[in-house]
Amino acid sequence: MARYFALRDRRLAGGVPSRANLSIFNTDAGVSLANAFASINGTARASGGKIHSMFILCHGYAGSNPNAGMSMDAGGMGLQLGRENVMHTNVAMWSAIAGKVDNIVVYSCAAGDTQPGNEGTTADGRYLMGALAIHTNANVYAADKIQWYRRHEGLSNGRYEFGAWEGTLYKFPPSGNPPTVIAAPPVEFTDVMMGT
């Protein structure tokens, strides 16, 4: 039985070593998210119905503001996760795991960013993360800035070591209410890696 779930895209350099109470699913451009959903649902069943926290570890489509036509510390254009990615046009597919996870912590660049003028566009990260919360019936945690991390001892497949959150961290509730600013999610990926 796993209390935690790591959904990792291999295009994010690094690795997720085995830990107690952690189930891991690796994806890439050739793996459908339907396979990930099957693994999440199976893990939830084996864990008594729900997973406490799922960590999404992937690149975010960030580094530019399409509305302003410039490169900058901005994002909100989706997540590079699996074959389909997580986009404004397909976020509803996440209803396949509705009610199976309590918390989703997104370690991805600028996933929760919405620059002025990008509201209601394909660069509206707050909308995307809010929709992810609604479709999964989970609290979603995501930041609005490009995130930095290291790999353990600099190894190519070393575990991810995320430091403090860059920018503002938001909690998106499944109710659809506006996000709130918070200091930290209920569980950090580092805590699971350290066994705390």
Assign 2 a pLDDT band (cuts: 50, 70, 90).
confident
pLDDT above 70 (res 65) = yes
Assign 1 a pLDDT band (cuts: 50, 70, 90).
low
Per residue in 170-183, pLDDT (tens digit) is 999 999 999 999 99
Assign 191 a pLDDT band (cuts: 50, 70, 90).
very high
Per residue in 104-160, pLDDT (tens digit) is 999 999 999 999 999 999 999 999 999 999 999 999 999 999 999 988 887 776 789
Assign 19 a pLDDT band (cuts: 50, 70, 90).
very high
User: Taking the domains of the chain in order of start, what are their residue ranges?
Assistant: 4-194
Q: If you write DSSP's letter for every residue of 111-156 in order, what string do you get?
A: TT-B-TT-TTSTTBHHHHHHHHHHHHTSEEEEESS---EEEGGG-T
Q: Which pLDDT value is given to residue 195?
A: 84
pLDDT above 70 (res 83) = yes
Q: Which pLDDT value is given to residue 101?
A: 99
Q: Which pLDDT value is given to residue 45?
A: 97
Average pLDDT, the chain: 94
Q: Which pLDDT value is given to residue 33?
A: 98
Distance CA 111, CA 34 (A): 21
Q: Which pLDDT value is given to residue 22?
A: 97
pLDDT above 70 (res 16) = yes
CA 131 vs CA 144, 165, 179, 195: distances in Å: 16, 22, 11, 31
Distance CA 62, CA 185 (A): 22
CB within 8 Å of 20: residues ≥ 6 apart: 195
Tell which wins on pLDDT, 66 or 21: 21
